[in-house]
Amino acid sequence: MGTEIPEYLKRMVCRPAPADEVVPCSTPVVAFGDPQVATVATLGLNPSGREFVEDGSLLSGSRRRLATLQSLGAESTSWLSDKQIRTVLEDCASYFRPDRNPYRRWFDVLDQVLRNGLGVNYYDGSACHLDLVQWATIPVWGKLSDRGVKQALLNESLPHLRNQLKFGKIQLVAVNGRQVLEQVVAVGLARLELSGTLRVGSMACSLYSGKGAGVQFVGWSTNLQSSFGVTRELKSQLERWLVAATVQKFDMEIKSDTDTESQNTPTETGGVLDADGHVVERTALSGKAELFRLLKNWLETSRKATIGVVGKFGGRPCIFIGLDEDMTAVLNVDTKRSAVGQFVEDVKARGPDVPWSVIPNRRGRLNKLTFLAGGAEVPGWYCYLRKPLSRTRKI
């Protein structure tokens, strides 16, 4: 975060607790992770009281996860200095660092679905978690008997959530569970439509998609952490649906953008460049020929060193490429200009439809793609299959 703290974040942190049920000495949870870096956010109702309290005692020292009035040396969130505000924000942004004691038992369930279904995760910064209400409560949300208290918390928090979506880099919000879906619709955050149903045994999980607050929404009715009977098969089906639903949806939006001359400049492939000359993240292409035309256009019209905005983390998907056998590859935002130049020259010499080699990545997973004829790795070319293979092969 820069030297100046945006006013909307100051207002978000420096607000008094709106109800007696808010965990004493807690601070509003701006986000779990950093919405200024992440492109995908999961959405819940409100933070767990366990983020601040365990066995009736306020977490402190190495067990503390987020800023408390005690750790800040403050009496109230209403009177925080810029330094204290910055500490609250930094504690939220760095929540998923291993040394920060993240609540992995809850978040890791969603993280696995994000990794397999959307190619992002909490721990590298490409995803974050937001809540409709930014305050942790005692008792938990489901046991708050006073509906007036719940509504007051929602009304007080919603403007702050809208600002997070407006001023951050979030492009997709994933909603976990029926309660959250119902509240999203009830407060007017997004309009959602039923997209299908997953059935595994006796369990049925309804799927939703829509748009609101300037971002795309997807959601599922089954709460993955607490619903009885959630199986690996259900999660696998959900992951496959996310792959298909998000790539198809973003492809439709990109194509519709080519009919206007608003904020983006369309390329001849249907991919778009932003005003700074980067490829818009989550551009979806139908094959290698479209990738060649987009990257050739980028080389000719942009002077940027990487195809996307790297920020604090470069391993985010920038371009989705549909390949044979229903495989999808991603080209990450930190892919370098020199590597793109090699790719374009290789296609000019050999054509766009030559096979690519699948080679091991740094961790030994067979998911990295190289276009060179001999299967050699290309420095600065960060292209990967969404799901690794069991053996080396050509695609």
In this predicted model, what pLDDT tens digit does every residue of 15-33 receive, in sequence order? 999 999 999 999 999 999 9
CA distance 335 to 126: 16
> Domain for residue 290, yes or no?
yes
Which of the 8 DSSP states describes residue 91?
A: H
Q: CA 336, 337, 338, 342 torsion: positive or negative?
A: positive
CA distance 80 to 30: 15
Upper half-sphere CA count for residue 220 (Cβ side, 13 Å): 26
In terms of residue numbers, what domain contains 90? 7-252
The pLDDT of residue 87 = 96
The pLDDT of residue 249 = 46
The pLDDT of residue 272 = 65
- The percent of the chain in helix, strand and coil, each rounded to the nearest 5, is 35, 20, 40
> Domain for residue 321, yes or no?
yes
- Final residue belonging to a domain, choices 231, 252, 273: 252
Contact at 8 Å (CB) between 196 and 207? yes
217 and 284 housed in the same domain: no
> Domain for residue 395, yes or no?
no
- Give the strand pairing for 191-200 and 203-212: antiparallel
> Domain for residue 1, yes or no?
no
For every one of its 395 residues, what pLDDT tens digit does the chain have, with 9 covering 90 and above?
556 899 999 999 999 999 999 999 999 999 999 999 999 999 999 999 999 998 889 998 988 999 999 999 999 999 999 999 999 999 999 999 988 889 998 999 999 999 988 888 999 999 999 999 999 999 999 899 888 999 999 999 999 999 999 999 999 999 999 999 999 999 999 999 998 899 888 788 999 999 998 899 999 999 998 767 788 899 989 988 888 777 544 433 333 333 333 333 333 334 467 777 888 888 888 889 889 989 998 998 888 999 998 876 667 888 989 887 778 899 999 999 999 999 999 999 998 889 999 999 888 889 999 999 889 999 999 999 988 898 888 88
Instruction: Identify each DSSP E strand in the chain by its residue range.
Output: 40-44, 53-54, 57-58, 127-131, 172-176, 191-200, 203-212, 215-220, 265-266, 272-273, 283-285, 317-322, 328-332, 357-360, 366-370, 383-389
**pLDDT one-digit tens code per residue, 129-168:** 999 999 999 999 989 988 899 999 999 999 999 999 999 9
94 and 216 housed in the same domain: yes
The pLDDT of residue 203 = 83
> Domain for residue 2, yes or no?
no
32 and 155 housed in the same domain: yes
> Domain for residue 331, yes or no?
yes
237 and 133 housed in the same domain: yes
The pLDDT of residue 247 = 59
Across the beta sheet with 203-212, what order do the strands follow? 127-131, 40-44, 172-176, 215-220, 203-212, 191-200
- Final residue belonging to a domain, choices 227, 252, 277: 252
Q: Cα angle vertex 328, ends 352, 257, to 5°? A: 80
CA distance 162 to 194: 23
315 and 290 housed in the same domain: yes
> Domain for residue 91, yes or no?
yes
196 and 241 housed in the same domain: yes
229 and 273 housed in the same domain: no
> Domain for residue 257, yes or no?
no
Backbone angles phi and psi of 195, in degrees to 5: -110, -15
Backbone angles phi and psi of 384, in degrees to 5: -140, 150
230 and 314 housed in the same domain: no
The pLDDT of residue 390 = 87
Backbone angles phi and psi of 329, in degrees to 5: -110, 155
51 and 148 housed in the same domain: yes
- Final residue belonging to a domain, choices 220, 252, 284: 252
- Position of tokens 């420095």? 379
Contact at 8 Å (CB) between 225 and 212? no
User: Which structure tokens are listed for 278?
Assistant: 């980067």
Backbone angles phi and psi of 117, in degrees to 5: -95, -30
What is the domain count for the chain? 2
238 and 298 housed in the same domain: no
Indicate the residue type of 199.
Answer: R
> Across the chain, which distance is largest between two alpha carbons, in Å?
70
The pLDDT of residue 248 = 46
152 and 292 housed in the same domain: no
184 and 288 housed in the same domain: no
CATH number at residue 69: 3.40.470.10
